Chains A and B, each alone.
Chain A
Amino acid sequence: MIELRSVSKSYARSDKPAVDSLDLEVKNGEVFGFLGPNGAGKTTTIKMIIGLLRPDRGSIRVEGIDVVKNPISAKRVLGYVPDDVDIWDKVTGREYIRFLASVYGVDSKNLERVNALLDAFELSPVIDDIVQNYSHGMKQKLAIIGSLVHNPPVWILDEPIVGLDPRSSFILKGLMRSHASSGGTVFFSTHVLEIAERICDTIGIIHKGKLIAAGTLEQVKELFASKENQSLEELFLEITGAKLPPGTDRIPGSLGWCDV
């Protein structure tokens, strides 16, 4: 479970807050999709939840643990996949997993699942190669597996789909769903609205640091009195006030542009 209460964060060189009085609750067993345009405050929010940034105001709790007051306990229940995968370049995949298993105190018996994941993501043949030689997608997959080594109740992913091949993307979506089904919490940010629409139980839309909508897709649609059969993409564009530049063709098809 994740709870954010009146969380705000400003950066030194900006007069506007990156995140402004954010209230949010994600329950156990939920897959929560965090949506917003670039620079809306998604990554800042995620970094505050995992403890990489300190909120200026407000409180953040994961599984009931305050991440500012009790960071070490909070980190034990968190798994995190960053958007920019800066894993140590000079270690092998095996060494990276071994390091995480050691610091999270995971014993060999509980690593069966990791073996299955390495197999599923097709990383087992290159597990003894140094990370420097991995492609972006492979690093992403290693980061995903690394975040699950200690089987965390709360799994946070920042733009996890970017750079993954369709097969891995499919596996990841399945993992996210099964993590929630087994009682865990999944909190992920994405730009791919179709995926959010398909696998999320609840969504939140953040714009210019403020949470402007949260709830199930139906609740969000109701909140904005959207048209019938309006897609999430249309709703998102409407809420965030996105405009196409003059002379740009709207893409016809399933996303609802054809009626314009």
Chain B
Amino acid sequence: MTLRVIWFLIKAQFNLAAQLELLGIGRKQKYKHLFLLLIVVALVPFVTSIAVSARALTIASSMVGAWDLPAVLIVSLSQIICVFFGIPHVLSSLYFSKDLKRLKVLPLTPFQIAMGELAPLYLSISLILAVFFWPFAAVTGISFHMGPIFWLNAVLVYLFSPLVPLGLSLLCLTLMMKLTERLPGKDFFRVLSSLIFFAAIVFFQSINANIGTSLSDPGRLVSSLYGYQTFSSRLSRVFPPLQWAARALSSDGPYTLWYSLGFLAASLAFLTVVAAAVSNIVINLSAETQLRRRARAEQIVQVLPDGVTLALLRREHWNLTRTPAFLMTAIMNLMVVPLLLLVSRAATSHGPASLPGLLNQLRGNSLLVPAITGFSGLLVATNQVPSTAVSREGKSFWISRLIPVPPEIQVNAKLLYGMLYGTAQLLVLLISVCFFRILDVASIARLASLSLALTLPLTQIGLLVDLLHPRLQWTHPQQAMKGNYNGLIAGLLGALLVAALAGLFWLFLRMGLGMRVATLAVLPVIGVISAYLQAAVRRLARSQYLQLEF
């Protein structure tokens, strides 16, 4: 019975056509093949870089006599990768999944449901792991001239590597569910977990990059590797089967099969025990949120009506921040700059090799402010907030069509909200620039004013793109924002505007205008472009809000 549930869910969740539909690609066969081809092409450079790094590591390990180090790295990094991808996957499947509602009414035990949900996750995590594991294992096997037993062990270790991380993710999920049980909504929980996920990526990146950047320095490499090995050995002390897996991959003697079989049995037992112990809690806590009925108040609706614009702004904000899929994208966009700088700093410690260090070195360069302004513009152009503002309303767009508020006022509220979000992005950038002491106060003021001015036309472009062809018929919020091509088109058009303004700025400098004068000369140009774009937004709002039939 459990196996039948598992097989059904695997088939349902690996329905590629449905996945493509979710991405807005459609169900046509040629698109399916094109999509798969693009995935493969996109993975080539990544796989190649892992293979090159693995080759360098095996050579370095041979040089320092640490023959078993590649095996330890394969096993421990596999576990870490599976945990990183496991937590959000488990969260999606066992907490936000719509399947649960349907499965819970069937005569299935919580254990069967949990295993049924975990099986498709196992497959997807295995696919992700393959991209890392096989280039690494293949290079190690070939470099050390390993025999057939090594390859057999590699297959076994690969197949069973996701089990312990899945069990850990399930434990982690149970803990987080218990802790957030009384919090008002799922959304907070999801955002919290995404932050943890990001923190984990930063941590992972720092380990990875520390090893990667020390390849040219054998002394540093050895200390990095030993540091990492210490971390790995700590990991394996907590869970000895990891050590067995590493031993299975460090030699090709027949006895190593016992190690991989031990790893296999222990991993399977761990997941089964965890699933049996916590599935009941997880499945019950995943129930739909109950209505929080309150005692009747004297005056039920003490509504203090807002002004129209404020009401429209509130609606934009509710929609963006209370829909987890939208909120995730919005938070990611806000975090990208500090994350980029922090990862770079964590990866390379201090010094000129890190991004903040590099920017510090360029501190006196007069082109740094325009360059960061351009970068800030690109961030705003690609933030997907204005470029999906109409699409995000989805099937509820009828309310916007029904209310007696002129379309231009409604669209202006969206523009204002997009501007506010763009300003928040700019603020995060400015705080990061201050934190890493990349610019002086005067330059920061110039950066702020230029970037703020640039935010307006870029937001207008995003809104124009979405107004022209909003995607209102979606079934999953992901289709409205992340899977909406309007974001991509607006990003490209915005990038073109930034490039054109950069070209104009360069022209002003070539004409002999000073940096400050050139900056002042660009501002009115941005103003004129914005005025034209605003007129276009107004026209399009009037026509589209009437033409969009619903």
Residues on A close to B: CB < 8 A?
47, 50-54, 71-73, 75-76, 78, 80, 82, 84, 86-91, 94-95, 97-108, 111, 114-115, 118-119, 124-130, 133-134
Contacts and interface: CB of A to CB of B under 8 A. Distances in A.
A103 B314 CA distance: 12
Interface in B422-436: none
A116 B315 CA distance: 25
Given A72-B404, A90-B319, A126 B302 contact: no
B292 A128 contact: yes
Contacts of B297: 124
Contacts of A106: 305
Given A54-B549, A130-B185, A134-B291, 19 more contacts: A51-B402, A75-B402, A86-B398, A88-B319, A88-B399, A89-B323, A90-B318, A91-B315, A91-B322, A99-B315, A101-B303, A104-B404, A118-B300, A124-B296, A125-B295, A129-B292, A130-B322, A133-B288, A133-B291
A125 B312 CA distance: 26
A56 B264 CA distance: 69
B291 A129 contact: yes
Contacts of B399: 87-88
B315 A88 contact: yes
B291 A118 contact: no
B323 A52 contact: no
Interface residues of B, number: 45
21 contacts: A52-B402, A54-B546, A54-B549, A72-B405, A82-B398, A87-B396, A90-B319, A98-B305, A99-B314, A100-B403, A103-B311, A108-B305, A114-B303, A118-B300, A118-B301, A125-B293, A125-B296, A126-B291, A126-B292, A129-B291, A130-B185
A95 B395 CA distance: 19
B303 A94 contact: yes
Contacts of B398: 52, 82, 86
A163 B437 CA distance: 61
B106 interface: no
Interface string B518-550: 000000000000000000000000000011011
A111 B546 CA distance: 30
B402 A111 contact: no
Contacts of B296: 119, 124-125
Contacts of B395: 84, 86
B307 interface: yes
Given A72-B406, A126-B293, A108 B304 contact: yes
B402 to A, nearest CB: 6
B310 interface: yes
Given A99-B315, A125-B294, A130-B322, A105 B549 contact: no
A52 B401 contact: yes
B300 A124 contact: yes
Nearest to B315: A99
Main secondary structure of the interface of B (DSSP, over half): loop
B217 interface: no
B396 A54 contact: no
A94 B405 contact: no
Among B305, B308, B403, chain A packs the most CB atoms within 10 A around the CB of: B305
B29 interface: no
A251 B549 CA distance: 41
Given A54-B549, A71-B546, A91-B318, A107 B300 contact: no
Interface string B317-347: 0110011000000000000000000000000
B291 A111 contact: no
Contacts of B293: 125-126
B301 A102 contact: no
B323 A104 contact: no
Nearest to A132: B289
Contacts of A71: 546
A102 B311 contact: yes
Given A102-B311, A108-B305, A126-B291, A88 B396 contact: yes
B318 A127 contact: no
B303 A97 contact: yes
Nearest to B289: A133
A199 B300 CA distance: 30
